[in-house]
Amino acid sequence: MNKLVEVKNLKQYFKVGKGQVVKAVDDVTFDIYKGETLGLVGESGCGKSTTGRTIIGLYEATGGEVLFNGLSVHRKKSAKEAKELKRKMQMIFQDPYASLNPRMTVADIIAEGIDIHGLASSKEERMNRVYELLETVGLNREHANRYPHEFSGGQRQRIGIARACG
C-alpha cells in the first residue's frame, strides 16, 4: 500500500507568556495509507485539532516532519504547489455549522473548491459535480438549493465532507 501521509515526531508548541511554552502536540508519529481512515480521539484540549491544523499546514510545525505523497507539507512551495496541496488536503471541522457560511446555498458551499481550483469547465459541469458529491455523502440533489440552517448536525457534517471532496 502507498503511504499518503507520514507524520514524524510532530511538535507544536505555543509561547504563552514570558518564557512559558505550552506543548500542544509533542512527538506525534503515525502513517496514513491510501484508502485508510485514521481517527484522532482524546479529551478536550489534548491537541487533536492542533495536530490536524499542523498536518495540513495551517500552523507551521515547531518540530518534526509532515509528508504528503512523499513531499514536505512545511517546506517552501511555489504558489502553484501550495494551491495543488490545498486541493488535495482538506480539513473537515468538528463543528459543521460554524464552518458553513449561512448565507450560501449548499451548492455554492460544495462548489467553492471546484471554483477555486477550476475543476469544472461550465456551470452545468459544476452542478453535476455538486449533485454527484451530494449523492456520495447520502444527500440528494434537492438539497443543493437549501441553506445550512435547514439541516441536522449530521447532514451538515456530510455537507462539509462533500465540500472537502470537491
Summarised one tens digit per residue, pLDDT across range 3-14 is 999 999 999 999
Summarised one tens digit per residue, pLDDT across range 14-60 is 998 888 999 999 999 999 999 888 888 889 889 998 999 999 888 99
Listed residue (27, 21, 8) closest to 73, CA to CA: 8
Check residues 117 and 138 and name the one with the higher pLDDT: 138
Check residues 108 and 82 and name the one with the higher pLDDT: 108
Check residues 107 and 76 and name the one with the higher pLDDT: 107
pLDDT at 158 over 80: yes
| Residue 159 pLDDT grade (very low, low, confident, very high; cuts 50, 70, 90) | very high
Q: Delineate the domains of the chain, giving CATH numbers in brackets.
A: 3-76 (3.40.50.300), 96-165 (no CATH)
What is the chain's mean pLDDT, rounded? Answer: 90
Q: What is residue 155's predicted lDDT score, i.e. its pLDDT?
A: 93
Calpha distance 107→159 (Å, rounded):
9
Whole-prediction pTM: 0.68
pLDDT at 78 over 90: no
The sheet with strand 71-72 has its strands ordered as 20-33, 3-17, 63-68, 71-72
Calpha distance 96→130 (Å, rounded):
18
